[in-house]
Amino acid sequence: MHRTQVSPRSPGRRRAVATVATLAVGALATIGMMAPASAGPPVDTSGDDGGAAPVAAPFAAAGEYTDRFLEMYDKIHDPANGYFSPQGIPYHAAETLMVEAPDYGHETTSEAYSFWLWLEASYGQVTGDWAPFNEAWDTLEANMIPTTENQPTNGAYNPADPATYAPEHDHPSQYPSELDADVSVGQDPIGAELRQTYGTSEVYGMHWLSDVDNIYGFGAAPGSSSLQGPDHPGPSYINTFQRGPQESVWETIPQPSIDDFSYGGPNGYLDLFTDDAAYAQQWKYTNAPDADARAVEAVYWAKQFAEAQGAGDQIADTVDKASKMGDYLRYSLFDKYFKEPGCESTSCPAGSGRSSAHYLLSWYYAWGGSLDTSGPWAWRIGSSHAHFGYQNPLAAHALSTDPDLVPASPTAQDDWSESLDRQVELFQWLQSAEGGIAGGATNSVGGDYSAHPAGAATFYGMVYDEDPVYEDPPSNQWIGMQGWGMERIAQLYHETGDPRAEEILEKWVPWVLSEITATDTTWAVPSTLSWSGQPDTWDPADPGSNAGLHVEVTDHGQDVGVAGALARTLIYWAAASGDQEAGDTARALLDAMWTQDSDAMGVATVETRTDYGRFDDEFTPGGDGVYVPPGWSGTYPNGDQIEPGVSFLDIRSFYQDDPMFPEVQEYLDGGDAPQFTYHRFWAQVAVATAMADYDRLLGDGVGEPDTQAPTAPTDLQVSGTTSSSVSLTWDAATDDVGVTGYEVLRDGEVVTRVSTTSYTETGLDPATAYEYTVRAYDAARNVSPSSSPVTATTDEGTTEPGGCSGELTVVNQWGGGFQATVGITAGSAAIGGWTATFDLAPASFVQGWNGQFSASGSSVTVSDVDWNGSLAAGASTEVGFTGSGTAPASVPVTCAAD
């Protein structure tokens, strides 16, 4: 049973604050956001919640910008403004006629949900009321994370054979893309671990796009394995982008995420995108990693706020769920087909273990499988393309250092620690001579692992890509990517004092400040960017100057969402660095938007939409328009025909009934371009939370630079050792402003920075003495004296093999077959390898993964492979296999350590 109804909240539940008088953006290809990318959700603030609700105590200092935040919060949650559906689901925008990344304003995205979490995190910080924050995650979980019924055959997923290769192509007219089983695909190194950690084969990640009102009529509902059709009230899982970098939203053909062939052609919509010998009814979902990472980021801050209020236990369950989401988000850190970085042909090495990891938040990860549970199969892919605007080093910091957010899987913390460094290095590599950050990198040139262009700059084997993933419009043309990406760098610097982040910001901030105007009568921020040259090939030991990489701001505009993101970036930077100009500019931007562009629904400006001339474009060979393969025909639930020659509008006839459409029709008939005042959810949240952040971080002004260092941490102790690890604890330091974090030094060298008063270092040598000290630092980069040193000696290692045990679990069954896993657990001592045996009589073995299998009749032997043989004492690994016949009720497993 899923929850969709948002419980009524009356304005009386927030802190009473006097109103201050005012003076006036497939699995086969891309799911890219196009600027402006997306919006967020509205919440019902009407109704009575059963009596007078207590007014929350004011946890944030009252201030003008806090008042503005609360006023915007009420507008976003006012049902009359239409940001939320009747079920309490946030729309991309309050308006319906809107075409950008979502092709309809009342669709929603995982991005919208992530901004909703940010909104409620700020609300909790201001009021101390954390119920709306938890409610936002519950709604997200119920409506954007597919249920068991939505992904019914995940149990058949084989991490040793994760997917079948299909190349991406430059233009939609080159689709459908032929599946090619002859191209080697690497092993998925985290699938078995996730299954063992959470006891399920299901993926805990958001699908990126939902048809909230079921306008298309598919009825691909949460909790269903079949399409419910037009009578379903919504929401409905759908997808659009599937056909390469030139497929703009104007050229997409929407399709249901559950394709049971009820609509479309004889094969549903599948043969528009993939060319196969035969087609099976199937489910498939695509994750937008930047949204899941932003959700984790919002939860990280909510945790800081709630714990400062003594209310951390109120959101503990939501924190646990964010940690779990971060575990699965690791799929975005791997190449699409798990090939090794540096790949230049389809015959390049298939990865094993972590060799296919690029450790960047790539453009998507995706998963799918058959609807037929009697013959189940499933697949998963990562992505080969990474855009700097999708990176979230703050989320990586949270997932690698915060004890409550570090995911439960044994290797997750190390993955996110590596990802944190790799993401920050990507920003360093892509910073232009002027300061702006260039596009990104790919491990699959052309989407088909083509050879690298001659002279192309590389980053850990990946090739520089000026416009990763999509080119209509170019993905790094929109200034919003600068705001989103650099906001996270600024947060990382504020929290940790990372000197690399500081260096990036010291160059980026002056560049962006020089392009911002904010006066009493007008304001403008950069809008469109033009790029030339390329970065130097990355050498972490000797980063280049990127003297040949340049950016130019070609025009300016009044995108309120971008302005909000830029203001937040400047606020975090000013709070951490004492940069007066940055703080003053952030305030001026917020004041200008508030006084010049406030309306009954929030903050918004007029937009002229010349791109709406593409509503009736028909396909031209090699050019724009909706491409439908010759001879292909199908229908939508409302009867709209899909066939060669159709336009965007032809397959979305519902737009002709939209009250805003007459202005578009007038433009199509030769009149002036339509002008609309849009209220995107994400943009409203960006401005509102910037208001809250200004009072929280700069409410008393930037002030004089902080020059006083924290006190030295005290009582540093060794709290535990193993043969390969040392655990440390210490008492907190103090500071006149506040301690930001701690540097842990081993033998005089900094090994990590943490925000807590404990740390465990792993990967050490046995029977070895190490000296540790700890020092504190604050947001102004003042560093304390070191603590008194302690010496820790790791335990003796053992060369004697320990014992091991095995347990067989049947995870899925169908007529004539089954799937099972075998968990191997080391005993009281570490082991260097293992072999397990078991008997499946009366059934027999078919195929296995994550181990070396052999079978004789019903007797099966499996031993480790190179990456899962060495297990620490008590550690576990898992292998899997399929069998023929009826699974035995109980199967003893004998395990021997090598």
Active site residues: 111, 290
Tokens describing residue 589? 């931007």
Distance CA 654, CA 103 (A): 12
Q: Using the 8-state DSSP alphabet, how is residue 179 labeled? A: P
Q: Using the 8-state DSSP alphabet, how is residue 601 labeled? A: T
Sequence-distant (≥ 6) Cβ neighbours of residue 457 within 8 angstroms: 463, 464, 534, 535, 536, 537, 538
CA 586 to chain CA centroid, nearest Å? 27
Tokens describing residue 492? 């990382």
Give DSSP secondary structure letters for 808-841: EEEEEEETTEEEEEEEEEE-SS-BS-EEEEEE-T
- Edge-first strand listing for the sheet containing 834-839: 852-856, 859-863, 834-839, 894-897
Sequence-distant (≥ 6) Cβ neighbours of residue 167 within 8 angstroms: 177, 178, 180, 346, 447, 448
Rg of the Cα atoms in the chain: 27
Tokens describing residue 25? 């953006």
Q: How many residues are listed for the chain in this entry?
A: 898
Distance CA 170, CA 886 (A): 47
Smallest CA-to-CA distance from 153 within 200, 192, 186 is with 200
Is residue 656 classed as helix, strand or coil in its secondary structure? helix
Tokens describing residue 16? 């009473």
Tokens describing residue 712? 């030295």
Residue 248, CA distances (Å) to 30, 57, 171, 609 in order: 10, 48, 10, 16
The amino acid occupying position 3 is: R
The answer to whether 355 and 339 have CB atoms below 8 angstroms apart is no
Distance CA 469, CA 390 (A): 12
Distance CA 562, CA 277 (A): 46
Q: For CA atoms 640, 645, 648, 650, give the dihedral sign.
A: negative
